[in-house]
Structure 1
Amino acid sequence: MSNDNHPSEIDQLKSNRRGLMVVLSSPSGAGKTTLTRRLMAADDNMTMSVSATTRQARPGEVEGHDYYFVSKDQFSAMIENEDFLEYARVFDNHYGTPRAPVEQALTEGRDVIFDIDWQGAQQLEQAAVEDLVKIFILPPNMRALESRLRTRAQDSDETIAKRMSKSESEISRWSEYDYVIVNEDVDKALSDVQAIIQSERMRRRRQMWLGPFVKALIDGG
């Protein structure tokens, strides 16, 4: 028997698992950022993937929290050394996911959330398919998507039009994901994402404690 202050032996064993790489992708305005923030707030076993970038830090951005800021030469060396799980060029700058901190988190049993597009998700799948769970967030309709973009009041009409045009291409990639959620209600969508993550955590291959536990059962332990 256990209580909140004294976890059972089984609970302690269950903590010995390999973490997940959770990709959340969506067109801009579909609610991905909101869902990510709420996931992180609800579960301290989750960490956000931090990308390396060659662009300059913006006011208020913190090294190691928002990005790892590196030179173009450093970025090129990291590519050469296969230090990235995925990387891409966006306009004149490069962005990539460093392999080492993600692997450390997974080994420690922590889940890592990735806010990347379908191209980044494809690269992650090639690099670490056994650890990966891909979730795509859809809006209930295109009117709702545009309304959310306008409600944010962050972009001009021209930028919103470009985002809406790009969203059609992004949505067309929905079938490449393991799970697809229509975000009509953010509380329901959050519940669905949490259910997916909990289910994936229970996969046999991720519960490294089960082998020794079953052996002890058979041996009469």
Structure 2
Amino acid sequence: MEGKIIIVSAPSGCGKSTIINRLLQKGEIDMKFSVSATNRQPREGEVHGVSYWFLTDEEFRQAIADDNFVEYEEVYPGRFYGTLKSEVERRCREGHNVVLDIDVKGGVNVKRMYGERALALFIEPPSIDALRVRLEGRGTESPEAISQRLGKAEYELSFAPSYDIRIVNDDLDKAVADTEKAIKQFVGA
């Protein structure tokens, strides 16, 4: 049986990666990450095709021109990351469900591309104020950086209505359980 596509998006600090990792650790749902592509150089210990698909600038730009990505982003000037269609399709053909941990615009585009084959989940904070408290609690960023993240989060929250399911992460265990229930229902697990 062919696998399905699970899109998970959220503003920074909403617990998206934590939720996905908890579900992967539980191992009750057959979900695999697709290996992303980038045009940056491999770091020590990284393996082509395992850590990332490492493409040259020219290869990455040609893949964009050839419409080979389900989504891509220029994260920094000249530095690209993306999800290759071939990688998603390969995982699905192998019978695995593919989980995509991607930004909100990419998530909307992937949902549009795959329609009913994809479930789009949006993880959101209970409020912008609660998100501010979380980000400040990390103690890793300046007040200016936190303000920037909150501004971006407000913008990203405007995409939430385009997603199939919205999950408020007010309580991490409940958010994990709600996400697990939605995914299991979608994949028939």
TM-score of the pair, normalised by structure 2:
0.89
Give CA deviations for 1:89-147 in whole Å, capped at 9, x if unaligned.
22312221112221121122211111111211132123322321100011112222112
The letter of the residue matching 1:38 is R
Structure 2 match to 1:211: none
RMSD, aligned CA: 2.0
Give CA deviations for 1:17-47 in whole Å, capped at 9, x if unaligned.
3212111111111111110111111126211
Structure 1 match to 2:120: 134
Structure 2 match to 1:70: 55
> Contact 2:8–2:102 at 8 Å: present in 1 too?
yes
Offset, 1:164: 0.8
Structure 1 match to 2:21: 37
TM-score of the pair, normalised by structure 1:
0.77
1:180 partner SS: strand
1:85 partner SS: strand
Larger displacement relative to structure 2 (154-163 or 22-31): 154-163
The letter of the residue matching 1:145 is L
Offset, 1:156: 2.3
The letter of the residue matching 1:150 is E
1:90 partner SS: strand
When Rg is computed on C-alpha atoms for both structures, the one with the higher figure is 1
CA pair 45-69 structure 1, distance change in 2 beyond 3 A: same
Q: Of the candidates 19, 31, 39, which is equivalent to residue 46 of structure 1?
A: 31
2:88 partner SS: helix
Structure 2 match to 1:160: 146
Matches within 5 A, 1:10-159: 17-43=1-27, 45-58=30-43, 61-92=46-77, 93-159=79-145
Q: Distance in 2 between matches of 1:34 and 1:126?
A: 26
The letter of the residue matching 1:85 is V
Q: Distance in 2 between matches of 1:60 and 1:148?
A: 32
Offset, 1:61: 4.7
Q: Of the candidates 168, 171, 177, which is equivalent to residue 185 of structure 1?
A: 171
**Which structure 1 segments of 5+ residues have no match?**
1-16, 204-221
Residue 197 (1) aligns with residue 148 (2): no
Q: Distance in 2 between matches of 1:115 and 1:180?
A: 15
CA pair 69-155 structure 1, distance change in 2 beyond 3 A: farther
Aligned residues: 187
> Contact 2:169–2:175 at 8 Å: present in 1 too?
yes
Larger displacement relative to structure 2 (38-47 or 57-66): 57-66
> Contact 2:38–2:82 at 8 Å: present in 1 too?
yes
Offset, 1:60: 5.8
